[in-house]
């Protein structure tokens, strides 16, 4: 199968190019105060070679922008995030698809904070705002299977592809036995993805070092079931995160050792294990995506 390249981490790219950026708003602040920076970031990832760009809707939750602002502006901002991505894709000289980001709306990395009753209306607003612009629904950085199940319920019978992306514990309890940040076995997440009718199962916002075991475990489940489920990876460039960590609670340092060349070496391993979708999460920039494109260009053209 031909490789599909995703973009990289929107939040850190916005910060790097000088967009309005602070906590708690994170990447949503650029939508509110400087949407032209979001356009620049999308264009940079497309120029680097991304086949799929992700709408900047990850931080459009009460957790980041506050309950009052989300209630008043959530739909409008989600629509803006989708439209900016769609316009960037339209500017591209080749086919580029738009993935609508559906985040863990009760807080990243914290499966223990997930409340389906609280999350449902937030996801409903995001789906409504992004719906006119999405080619793919990307439910990402999911820490538990319950979060994925709720996304499927909210999407209902929407026919567009659903990609489910789980975040993996950076420090495995058992070597070679990856688990979600909820503690659920990765094999259970793979089974859930198939049961929910996902087109792709991905792993994101975890260290590159833990992703190979995740791909191998997922592939074993898919092959055993004889299912059609595309696998993918987009790792982050953070140091290991503890079980008590909450993503985006602060500005973590970016690993200096994770150069484009180092990231490519990890990606080639994921590819060899069966990942057909590869990109980057927090701290992975256009230069990393360009390195992937350059190395994988002959394969993409085959």
Per-residue confidence (pLDDT) for residue 300, from 0 to 100: 47
Per-residue confidence (pLDDT) for residue 271, from 0 to 100: 98
Contact (CB, 8 A) for 108 and 167: yes
Contact (CB, 8 A) for 134 and 160: yes
Give the span between the Cα atoms of 164 and 161, in whole angstroms: 10
Give the span between the Cα atoms of 91 and 96, in whole angstroms: 9
Contact (CB, 8 A) for 283 and 254: yes
Whole-number percent of the chain with pLDDT over 70: 94
Provide the H-helix boundaries in the chain.
10-16, 28-33, 35-48, 62-65, 67-91, 116-130, 145-155, 186-195, 211-225, 260-273, 286-301
230: left (phi over 0), alpha (psi -120 to 50) or beta: beta
| pTM (2 d.p.) | 0.94
**Cis geometry, peptide bond prior to residue 24 (ω within 30 degrees of 0):** yes
- Tell me the pLDDT tens digit for each residue of 157-166: 999 999 999 9
Per-residue confidence (pLDDT) for residue 301, from 0 to 100: 40
Contact (CB, 8 A) for 177 and 138: no
Give the span between the Cα atoms of 209 and 123, in whole angstroms: 31
- Ranges of residues in the chain with a pLDDT under 70 are 1, 172-173, 241-251, 298-302
- Tell me the pLDDT tens digit for each residue of 108-143: 999 999 999 999 999 999 999 999 999 999 999 999
Give the span between the Cα atoms of 133 and 174, in whole angstroms: 41
The residue range of the domain holding 245 is 4-301
> What is the maximum alpha-carbon separation in the chain?
51
Strand partners, 267: none
Contact (CB, 8 A) for 162 and 199: yes
- Domain CATH number, residue 134: 3.20.20.330
CA 33 to chain centre: 23
Give the span between the Cα atoms of 236 and 258, in whole angstroms: 9
Per-residue confidence (pLDDT) for residue 43, from 0 to 100: 98
Count of structural domains, the chain: 1
CA 234 to chain centre: 7
DSSP string across 144-196: SHHHHHHHHHHHTT--S-EEEEE-B-SS-SSTT--BBTTS-BHHHHHHHHHHT
């Amino acid at each position: 199968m031909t490789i599909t390249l995703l973009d990289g981490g929107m939040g850190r790219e916005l910060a790097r190019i000088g967009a309005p950026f602070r906590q708690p708003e994170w990447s949503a602040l650029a939508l509110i105060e400087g949407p032209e920076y979001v356009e620049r970031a999308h264009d940079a990832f497309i120029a680097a070679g991304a086949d799929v760009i992700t709408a900047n809707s990850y931080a459009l939750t009460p957790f980041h922008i506050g309950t009052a602002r989300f209630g008043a502006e959530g739909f409008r901002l989600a629509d803006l995030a989708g439209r900016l991505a769609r316009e960037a894709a339209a500017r591209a000289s080749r086919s580029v698809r738009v993935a609508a980001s559906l985040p863990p709306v009760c807080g990243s990395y914290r499966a223990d904070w997930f409340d389906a009753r609280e999350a449902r209306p937030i996801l409903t607003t995001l789906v409504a705002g992004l719906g006119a612009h999405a080619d793919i629904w990307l439910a990402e950085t999911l820490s538990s299977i319950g979060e994925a199940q709720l996304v499927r319920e909210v999407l209902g019978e929407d026919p567009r592809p659903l990609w489910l992306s789980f975040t993996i514990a950076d420090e495995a309890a058992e070597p070679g036995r990856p688990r979600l940040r909820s503690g659920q076995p990765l094999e259970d997440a793979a089974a859930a993805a198939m049961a929910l009718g996902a087109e792709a199962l991905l792993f994101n916002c975890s260290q590159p070092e833990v992703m190979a075991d995740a791909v191998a475990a997922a592939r074993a489940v898919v092959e055993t079931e004889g299912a059609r489920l595309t696998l993918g990876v987009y790792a982050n460039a953070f140091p290991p995160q503890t079980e008590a960590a909450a993503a985006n609670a602060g500005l973590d340092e970016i690993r200096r050792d994770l150069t484009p060349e180092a990231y490519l070496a990890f990606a080639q391993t994921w590819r060899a294990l069966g990942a057909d979708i590869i990109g980057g999460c927090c701290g992975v920039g256009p230069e990393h995506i360009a390195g992937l494109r350059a190395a994988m260009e002959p394969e993409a053209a085959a």
